[in-house]
Every structure is written in structure tokens, then in C-alpha cells.
Amino acid sequence: MLLAVFTFSTLHGNGPARATTIVVARSANEIVIGADSKVTDSFGDEVKRLSCKILQVGNLFVAFEGLEIDRQSGFNVQTIALKTLKTRQTASVADTVSNFTGVLVSQLFDELPRLKKGAPEAYNRKIEGGQSFLRVIIVGFERGRPLIFVRSFRATRITSDVVGVTVVPDDCLSDCPGEVVTRFLGETDAIDGLPEETPGFWRAGLIDGVRRLVQTEIEARSEYVGPPIDIVRISKSGVQWIQKKPECSDIRKSGR
């Protein structure tokens, strides 16, 4: 567990906040990521554009949910990921993720005070209260092993002037049990527990199951989650888009 403590005095208006459903399913041989495309603003109103919520960084794939971008201050989780998650031959994926987490926490040290000052109502509603204000999922293969890293960021008040940010991991690494393991981000009320409660849910494969989960959430929460669905498959032999919209970049080969 990583704890960063800082003094608050500030929160600027955010850019569009993404209502999101992201699903990751992992077996021993593959990882499949599915995401919706809808974008909403800070008040939950639909923004008339689509977003690709699956980002390739080197040989890793990343998705975010929550406090992702502040256009006034320049804080941008995607930019941080692009700078810090390109794995090196001398660094393990775990070390790379640790570096990313440290840099992100360091920038939150500056960002959260700005947000509190600039938009106190939104800050109190979305940042404080013990819930996660940002979740990041990072997946990939290393030496033939499928790896899932999840980092949830929560603000914890220590005193009236000092707030801690706790980074809570929820990883699925070499000792992760189960034939199919899932991680969900964003709007998930309609799908929490669905694979476990549905006999044979994964019988048709991970791709079909992930598509079904995202579609179920779209049908349940269409005001926040919407089509099209993007799906990428990662395996020992390579990576491929199963379905994607034009806003998603083509797969780039990585040299790791």
C-alpha cells in the first residue's frame, strides 16, 4: 500500500468526465479487454463525441476511470502513462507499473489542491468520502504470463488541512486463482457477479463473454454507457483488435 500525504488548498474545472464501463477477462493464455465509447461531462450530460478508452503503451494496454484529465492545469493520466509505462529491457512490468504509480501520485500532489480550490462542490462530491476517485488498469504478458495490475486512488482526510491518498492494488499475477478472472471499472452494477451466477458464462470464450458484459451494462445504464464496444485480445503470440472504431489506434509492434 502506498500513502502520499499533502496539504490541500485547491480543484479547477475538469474537462469531460467519462462515464465508463471497462471489462478485463484473463485466462492462462489470453487477456481480453472491452470498453464502451460514451463520453459525458462533469454533470453526467452526454458529449457528442466518442472516446477510445483502451490505450496501448509499448507492450502494455491501459484503461482509466475517474479523475483522468484537467484541461486547465494540464493534468492528464494518459500523458503520464505514455511517458512512464514504456517498459525497458532492464525493468520488469511490476517495476514499470510502480514507477507510473509514483509519478502519478506526485502529480496528484499538485492537482488535487488545485481542484479543491477551483471546484469545491465537485471536489467534495467526487474526491472526498472514501470512494475511489481514479482507477487504472494495466495489462500485458511478461515471459509468457498474463498480468493484470489495478490501482485505485482514494483520498483520506488525516487532519482538517492534510489529506492522504491511498493507492489500493487489486492485481492478478502469477498466483491469481481461477480459470477466468475478471476486473471491472466504471459503471458495473448490472454485471457485478453475472459470470459467477450464470452457468457456462465463458463457454463461448473470453471475447464473447467480455462483449456480453459491456453490452449488458450499456442496456442497463444507457445514460452513462454507450456503443460501440471496442475489444482487444492479448496473448502470448501477439495482439489484435477484435472490433474497434476509427478513434482507436492500430496496434503498434513492441520490441520487448
To which H or E segment does residue 123 belong?
helix 120-126
Interatomic CA distance for residues 212 and 209, integer angstroms: 5
* Cβ density class 50-70: b for 16+ within 10 Å, e for less: bbebbbbbbbbbbbbbbbbbb
Alpha-carbon distances, residue 195 vs 147, 160, 212, 214, 235 (angstroms): 20, 43, 10, 12, 22
Q: Among 103-117, 121-135, 196-210, which range has the highest average pLDDT?
A: 196-210
Binning pLDDT at 50, 70 and 90, where does residue 32 land?
very high
Q: SS3 for 158?
A: coil
Binning pLDDT at 50, 70 and 90, where does residue 122 land?
confident
Interatomic CA distance for residues 145 and 142, integer angstroms: 5
In this structure, are residues 116 and 160 in contact, taking their beta carbons and an 8 Å threshold? no
Cell of 14: 475538469
DSSP structural state of residue 202: T
Binning pLDDT at 50, 70 and 90, where does residue 123 land?
confident
In this structure, are residues 136 and 150 in contact, taking their beta carbons and an 8 Å threshold? yes
Q: How many other CB atoms sit within 10 Å of the CB of residue 253?
A: 7
Q: What is the pLDDT of residue 158?
A: 67
Q: Residue 205: pLDDT above 90?
A: yes
* 126-175 pLDDT per residue, tens: 787 768 899 999 999 999 999 999 999 988 776 666 666 789 999 999 88
Q: Residue 42: pLDDT above 70?
A: no
Could you say which architecture CATH assigns to the domain 2-243?
4-Layer Sandwich (3.60)
